[in-house]
Structure 1
Amino acid sequence: NCHCKLQQNFQEMIYILDSMEELKMRLLSDDYGKHLMGVEDLLQKHSLVEADINVLGERVKVVVQQSQKFNDDETTEGYRPCDSAIIVERVQQLEHAYHELVKLAVERRARLEESRKLWQFYWDMADEENWIKEKEQIVSQGDIGHDLITINLLLSKHKALENEISSHEPQLASVVAVGEDLVKQGHFGAERIQSRLNDTLDSWKHLQELVAFRRKRLEEAVDFHQFFADADDVDIWMLDALRLVSSED
């Protein structure tokens, strides 16, 4: 009976090792996601693998306790269903395989979290780039206006846009800070991150230049039209003065 139980114990060890091997293959996958949704999906799947590993951990514990019991029984009863060295060796093999599996799971989770940070950064950066492009279009396509009323209206709209752009700057800065941290930490995507940061910051600088240029043009247009409006006023005043003088004659 004791021999039978020992056989069952060894059989359970083999089942556990097979399950571990299967999980190990999944943990060795080099797929860390090709986009944010992909990584989120892989992280969910990884949580299920971690749960399976925990269940295996409980089975390992039971088998190890059973094996210990066989060795203890052997010493008390003097009966040897199996060489104790073999039991010890199998237990060590099982525990080693389990620890290796746990280590792989920890490493894969860390790598997936790194990947999530990368794709989250790209996602946020794409939002920033689109926002900048949208504002660039508004600034570039802007009409200058043909009279004082229109130009002043355009100028007040432009000032509102300037406020919107400057109040957006902290949001861009926080996304940039995340990217810079990833580069500093030596993230596996560091080169691409740095290049993306450079491009976006160049676009931001370009947007600010466009905004300043448009403001200058609008202010010049105001001065220009104001000059002619003032000149017209002078002409009207001169005509009125001339009429007065000629009527007195």
Structure 2
Amino acid sequence: MAVITPETEDDPQIYLLDPFFYPCCPSTTPDPASSAARLIKGLQANELTTSFLATALPPFLLHTAATRPGHVDNVLQTLKLLSNTSSLPLVEDWDSHPNATFAETFSVTFPDDLNDAIRGPIEITEHHSYVAASLLGARARSMGMLTTPDIVGSVAEGLGFPDEVLFHYEGDIAEIAIIGACVQLLGGASSLVKDQPDRFAKNKILAALDRIQSKENDVLIKFTKDHLQKEPLVDLSSAEIVTNLKEKGWHFIVDV
């Protein structure tokens, strides 16, 4: 059994957003419509600004993936609702772009922060943030919220595709790369197989997983292989990933 332990998070912006998603209990799964309504109300009351949300939400998403991984989909759905709300206040001057919308600003800040968290080489001290970013990236990609080369490249690296190995990970760091790749496949393989059928053909992915020798994460690898062989291939939600792996004896995160 592998247990990934979250690193300490010191960004105070994260905790400023907590009440909008967790008004009562931090263990209660956020309701996207209610969370979006609270954020919109905060913007209308000038408790929040659009520019603040665009920069604070990506770290909040990464923190959620690290500490409450099963809630990732709910927070992402909240942000999809915000992005589709045309009445939000505009950002008067953002990156030399006057009157930018929340959707425009968030579409830049989110992939930038996510790429920073997942871009190699992997550092052993950031193991949990890497796995959390893998979950977040997979689910955001599956939900049509982003597509970035660093996220997809980390899957190929973790699987050890011979023509795409850049960092030649070994030991514990190789294990982290494997975990990240498996989590991405569970949460977002369908778009990879559909959009890049040559690079991520099912048989190619399964063959790569067969080559991986990992006693520590054999449960995760087997579960990933079983999932990929299903027809039709449907991505698992963040809650399904956490719950199914826990039932198999592999814990995505320590209980918090």
Q: Give 1 or 2: higher helix fraction.
A: 1
Does the alignment reach a TM-score above 0.5?
no
Bigger Cα Rg: 1
The TM-score range, normalised by the shorter chain, is under 0.3
TM-score (norm 2): 0.26
